[in-house]
Copies of this chain bind each other. A is one copy, B any other.
Amino acid sequence: MRGDQYLLLPGPTPIPERIMRAMNKSMVNHRGPELKEIIKDVTVGVKKTFKTENNVLIYPASGSGALEAAVVNFISPGDKVLSISIGVFGDRFAKIATQFGANVEKLDFKWGEVADPKVVKERIDQDVRKEIKVVLVTHNETSTGACNDIKAIKEAMGDHPAIIMVDAVSSLGATDLRMDEWNLDVVVSGSQKAYMIPPGLSFLACNSKALEVHKKNNNPKYYWDVTAGLKYLEKGQTPYTPAISLLYGLQEALKMIQEEGLENIFNRHRNYRDMVRAAVKEIGLQLLTDDKYASNALTSVVVPEEIGANKVRKFLLEEFNIALAGGQQTLDDKIFRIGHLGYVRQLDLLATLGAIEIALVKFGYDLQLGKGLNKAQQFILNNR
């Protein structure tokens, strides 16, 4: 008997029982009055998490769908796009843009590190003929656990006319992002991360500057069309059938978010992150990212080559039913990623750190069992 799973991924994240119950309701007419109320209600709630007065569209799609929506609505074939990438998801955003005809220039930074706003500024400043139409950037890079300074990157663009489009799929709700205050043009996010509901919803917000760009956009689109979405939203509807049970869940999730308070939620995520990092350091393992830009959502832990990260993950899954994410692409078997995102409990992280130690000792790593665990315990004691 392994028991139900400890789901410690950087998404999907655990679903609160309260949300499970909220989703477990009958379907209603998606053009009827009940759903109209729900769509209005969740739109208001999601806007608060974006810290924006702009409208937010809710797509029945996963996070990558919202990336595609951003691309097909605001990038036209042939547009010059500057893609700032610090990992797999930065690359994905660039790839989608390429797929839809953009002329993408990559500005890559080392995986595990973040984009240097000075380097961005240099590139932008070089663009004296204002050829760059769109800048793509990932807020929280899920593949590494590094979190870009979006405010600084936007500032680095100065008064360059390009719009900035931010992939905030794994950051929103866990990390502060202020769409309006930072003057961000397009921001997208997804449901299966800090929003604590299953995958299947994604969010796209855009400001008036982006809408101007959209009007002239000539990429073919139907499902993702922002014009259609906004038109229907005025009536409290969606252009096509929405994912009704996920909207039930989202409504409940937004209630929970409001009850706890966004700033408290950010603090909780930081708190869990700091606990995990302190324990991992005490264990003697290397962290992929520096403290300065460490993600609130997940922590990538480097495992010594002679053990291998996947062996540790396999052991944790088989012995304790703990699901941790592995490294992607070049990071495969080098790291595992501990998600501390969404509805994760601090004691589940404590237990997982204990289990990681057991795995390491089992595989011959020189460790005094309990060293990191006690650090975490001490952290909890001192931070309540």
Q: Note all chain B residues with C-beta closer than 8 A to A380.
A: 358
With A3-B345, A4-B16: A358-B373 Cβ-Cβ less than 8 Å? no
In the complex, the count of this chain's copies comes to: 2
What chain B residues lie within 8 Å of A350 (beta carbons)?
350-351, 354-355
Determine chain A's interface SS by DSSP, over half rule: helix
* Contact digits for A334-372, partner B, Cβ 8 Å, 1 yes 0 no: 000000000111111011101101100110000001100
A260 near B1 with CB under 8 A, answer: yes
Q: Which of B1, B374, B381 contacts A374 (CB 8 A)?
A: B374
Give the distance to chain B from A194, nearest Cβ to Cβ, in Å.
11
On chain B, the residues within 8 Å of A346 by CB distance are: 3, 320
With A17-B4, A319-B384, A370-B370 given, is the CB distance from A358 to B377 under 8 Å?
yes
With an 8 A cutoff between CB atoms, is A160 at the interface? no
Q: Which residues of B contact A345 (CB under 8 A)?
A: 2-4, 6, 320-321
Task: Check if A314 is an interface residue, CB within 8 A of chain B.
Answer: no
Are B381's CB and A358's CB within 8 A?
yes
With a cutoff of 8 Å between Cβ atoms, the chain B residues found around residue A351 in the complex are 347-348, 350-351, 354
| A354: B residues at CB distance < 8 A | 347, 350-351, 354, 373, 377
Q: Does A24 contact B (CB under 8 A)?
A: yes
A380, closest chain B residue (CB)? B358
Check B362–A355 contact: CB distance below 8 A.
Answer: no
- Residues of B near A2 (CB, < 8 A) are 345
Instruction: Please tell me if A378 contacts chain B, counting CB pairs below 8 Å.
Output: yes
What's the nearest-Cβ distance from chain B to residue A193, in Å? 15
- Closest-by-CB residue of B relative to A358 is B381
Q: Which residues of B contact A1 (CB under 8 A)?
A: 256, 260, 264-265, 268, 343
**Pairwise interchain contact A377-B357, C-beta atoms closer than 8 A:** yes
A14 to B4 Cα, complex, angstroms: 10
Q: What would be 12 A-B contacts, judged by CB atoms less than 8 Å apart?
A: A1-B256, A1-B264, A2-B345, A3-B343, A4-B17, A320-B347, A351-B354, A354-B377, A361-B381, A373-B373, A373-B374, A374-B374
Extra A-B contacts (19), CB below 8 Å, given A347-B351, A358-B381: A1-B260, A1-B268, A1-B343, A2-B345, A3-B16, A3-B345, A3-B346, A3-B348, A4-B345, A6-B347, A320-B345, A322-B347, A347-B354, A347-B355, A348-B351, A358-B380, A369-B378, A370-B370, A374-B374
